[in-house]
Amino acid sequence: MRTIDKLFVISILALTLVGCRDNIEPILPPDQTIVTYPDPMVGDVKGFFLLNEGNMGSNKATLDYFDYESGEYSCNIFPQRNPHVVKELGDVGNDLQVYGERLYAVINCSNLVEVMDLSTAEHIGAISIANCRYITFDKGFAYVSSYAGPVQVDPTARPGKVVKIDTATLSIVGECVVGYQPEEMAVVGDRLYVANSGGYRVPNYDTTVSVIDLATFTELKRIEVAINLHRLELDRYGYLWVSSRGDYNGKQSALYAIDTRTDQVATKLDLPVGNMTRVGDSLYVYSNAFDKQAQKHSISYAIINLATREVVDRHFIKDGTESQIVLPYGVAVNPETREILVTDAGDYVTPGKLHCYNADGVRQWSVTTGDIPAHIAFTHRKLKPATIINPDQNDTNPYITSVFDYRPAAGQFVNVLPKYEAGDTQQKMNAKVLAAIGNNARSQISLGGFGGYVVVGFDHTIPNVSGLRDFRVLGNAFCNPTTPVGGSCEPGIIMVARDANGNGLPDDEWYEIAGSAHRDVKSEAFYQLAHKAGLDVAFYTDYQITYYRPTSEPDEPTEQYIRWTDNKQGEGYLVKNSVHLQPYFPQWITDNELTFSGSRLPQNGIDTNGTGQNFVLYKFGYGYADNDANTGVECSIDIDWAVDSEGKAVSLRGIDFIKIYSGVNQQNGWIGECSTEISGIEDLHALGERIATR
């Protein structure tokens, strides 16, 4: 499971730009909720936009909008307003800013800055920038920080850069090399300050702030501050506040103030900082610092008086409701009302929350957002109503319409994706799975460790079209774009069946999609690396594993949690980590043992530096679920790859049912077990997509 990586792997994967939908895919209207009383007398701030980052590799960045006048909160407004933009906003929304009459969204893993009209949220243009991070503006120009290099931990990673954009033409007019993996920026007079993190060079983080002369667009110098720098805020007194994230292993996060008149560090506060925002002389700060050694988060809130440079409040939430925030992720303050907005990323893979507090720190309202709500931009323009688009639709639903069985193996996101509640039956859990991944919902379910599975159906037969791939399985895998076999891939085996007896149930013969490892395991690009690392690289067609329900449920991390044995003389334990303390054994299943059988893929998770800190989960060539980014070709499957129980090719005119099960048995250090995640399945022909087969 990749969720914990979100704390350390800051960005990934790039692939989508802008194209045309041809009105094939249904455009669903945004969800709208009245969250507070309407206020027809609002001031200059008419509302705000919220950019949800979305799960890495899932192409799920979304844009929400809150209207102060109506009190209405709208989720995922971009698709309806931009039906011709392929893949919608893209992969991982990393920053959101308003400049002039435009809204700018930095989409990190899609390598672009999306530019929208502030009054309509309609697409104006997109600027391609590799591994882009944050954006700031000055005198008609936008400045975007960029990691510049590929997405990977690399001690030899190249320095980053800042890209200069003419906002009138949206053209790139300059680049300036800065430190390693640059993050937030701030304009001070005729200079641009850039926080350098060096996050890809762990443990050798960068420690500097670059200073750029805007007239010549060249780097003047670098100011030594501290390791792993991130956030920047300029106060009214000429001090630039910069946060250090520490190293997660002993060096603590802290906050520094640089005197921009001397470019010297003037103040250090031993205050951890995850995010911060300034209003007047108050700097609002929260932290959800993660200690990798202790395997736990430490959450705190504070206000700093910028006039005195002192912490004056350690609890800006005053009503005790901070206990209901799992992981604070974004913070903003309305400059007029001083309302405080705090987002909650929760478990990083399901919809988050936004909480609004009044100036006294008392909660006024809360609302469900998209996945990983992060970046808020206030607007002086009321968002105009959307033009309703009703694309031509036929009676064929391209997406999952039935879930027949969901039986996950034990895993760290079992009972969470989807969420189990006391009294839930198998039927209820099947319904929750359908709500999560059916009908283009694009949420996520976890199949747990090896063998855990889901069985789904459609309202029609997916045809087998010669020469083309027939369906796409969506997961949350991602790969390094320059070294595409490396990333975070947790492949699942795919099986297909047709309704031969016509009873509408998946009780006919199943056929297995034979992917690349089925054909020749030694041809996998990572095979030699895995073999050298001592991993079990055998491919078994007759693998069987049994998980044993623990006799007691520990409420703290433990190495020996859920025992398993297999039919290859193997045995071991699933580890319980501190991030996910719920039971890992599926709670609606009463059996004390769970046994799964099937083909088992070679272990693909390699500890690249031998310390247990940096696992890369390599991609197989083709033919598996959760094995390629949803924007990649190899998440699409050809029915002609199906084989019978003896491995012989079969000829199927079409299929009615699909079964997917986790295909690897491996514990990857602190990341946890290899567990396939699914967020949907699409009939490519019903969507009008033509993808050539191998």
Residue-wise DSSP of 646-659: TS-B---SEEEEEE
Q: Is residue 690 part of a domain?
A: no
In angstroms, rounded to a whole number, what is the distance separating the alpha carbons of residues 495 and 686? Answer: 20
Residues of the chain with pLDDT > 70: what percent? 93
Going 664 to 667 to 673 to 674, the CA torsion angle's sign is negative
Which residue, 379, 411, 438, sits at the end of a domain?
A: 379
- Residue 67's CATH number: 2.130.10.10
In angstroms, rounded to a whole number, what is the distance separating the alpha carbons of residues 118 and 131? Answer: 25
Please check the confidence at residue 262 and state whether its pLDDT lies above 80. yes
pLDDT of residue 19: 32
Q: Is residue 389 part of a domain?
A: no
325 & 460 share domain: no
In angstroms, rounded to a whole number, what is the distance separating the alpha carbons of residues 310 and 678? Answer: 47
301 & 449 share domain: no
Tens of pLDDT, residue by residue over 439-498, are 988 899 999 999 999 999 999 999 999 999 999 999 999 876 555 677 889 999 999 999
**291: Cβ contacts below 8 Å, ≥ 6 apart:** 248, 249, 297, 298
Please check the confidence at residue 223 and state whether its pLDDT lies above 90. yes
Please check the confidence at residue 195 and state whether its pLDDT lies above 50. yes
Kindly state the helix (H) or strand (E) to which residue 461 belongs, with its residue range: strand 453-463
Query: Of 259 and 388, which is predicted with more confidence?
Result: 259
pLDDT of residue 394: 52
- Tell me, rounded to whole angstroms, the distance of Cα 403 from its chain centroid: 25
In this structure, what are the phi and psi dihedrals at residue 604, rounded to the nearest 5 degrees? Answer: -120, 5
Q: What are the tokens at 132?
A: 């882009």
**102: Cβ contacts below 8 Å, ≥ 6 apart:** 115, 116, 117, 118, 124, 167
Query: Of 98 and 8, which is predicted with more confidence?
Result: 98
Please check the confidence at residue 24 and state whether its pLDDT lies above 70. no
Average pLDDT along the chain: 90
- How confident is the model over 660-672, as a mean pLDDT? 94
In angstroms, rounded to a whole number, what is the distance separating the alpha carbons of residues 457 and 490? Answer: 23
Please check the confidence at residue 86 and state whether its pLDDT lies above 90. no
Which of 146, 64, 129 is closest to 103 using CA atoms?
A: 64
In this structure, what are the phi and psi dihedrals at residue 572, rounded to the nearest 5 degrees? Answer: 175, -165
pLDDT of residue 292: 62
Residue 533 bridge partners (DSSP): none
Tell me if the pTM is above 0.75: no
293 & 366 share domain: yes
373 & 409 share domain: no
608 & 505 share domain: yes
Q: Which has the minimum average pLDDT: 22-36, 142-156, 215-229, 366-380? A: 22-36
Q: Is residue 396 part of a domain?
A: no
Rank 73-87, 220-234, 248-262 by mean pLDDT and report only the highest.
220-234
327 & 460 share domain: no
Query: Of 49 and 486, which is predicted with more confidence?
Result: 49
Count of C-beta atoms within a 10 Å radius of residue 421: 12
Which residue, 379, 410, 425, sits at the end of a domain?
A: 379
302 & 194 share domain: yes
Q: Is residue 601 part of a domain?
A: yes
- How confident is the model over 308-329, as a mean pLDDT? 94
Give the three-state DSSP class for 537: coil
- How confident is the model over 584-605, as a mean pLDDT? 97
Provide DSSP, 4-24: GGGGT-------------TT-
Tens of pLDDT, residue by residue over 158-193, are 999 999 999 999 999 999 999 999 999 999 999 999
Residue span of the structural domain in which 83 resides:
3-379
Confidence of residue 291 (pLDDT cuts 50, 70, 90): low
Please check the confidence at residue 16 and state whether its pLDDT lies above 70. no
Tens of pLDDT, residue by residue over 87-103, are 789 899 999 999 999 99
In angstroms, rounded to a whole number, what is the distance separating the alpha carbons of residues 107 and 126? Answer: 10
Contact call for residues 539 and 665 (beta carbons, < 8 A) = no
Q: Which has the minimum average pLDDT: 16-20, 439-443, 666-670? A: 16-20
Question: CA-based angle 375:380:383, to the nearest 5?
Answer: 80
413 & 328 share domain: no
Contact call for residues 163 and 201 (beta carbons, < 8 A) = no
421 & 353 share domain: no
In angstroms, rounded to a whole number, what is the distance separating the alpha carbons of residues 56 and 5? Answer: 10
Please check the confidence at residue 18 and state whether its pLDDT lies above 60. no
233 & 93 share domain: yes
Please check the confidence at residue 380 and state whether its pLDDT lies above 90. yes
Q: Is residue 691 part of a domain?
A: no
368 & 465 share domain: no
Total domains present in the chain: 2
257 & 119 share domain: yes
**48: Cβ contacts below 8 Å, ≥ 6 apart:** 65, 66, 332, 334, 341, 376, 377, 378, 379
Tens of pLDDT, residue by residue over 118-161, are 999 999 999 999 999 999 999 999 999 999 977 777 788 899 99
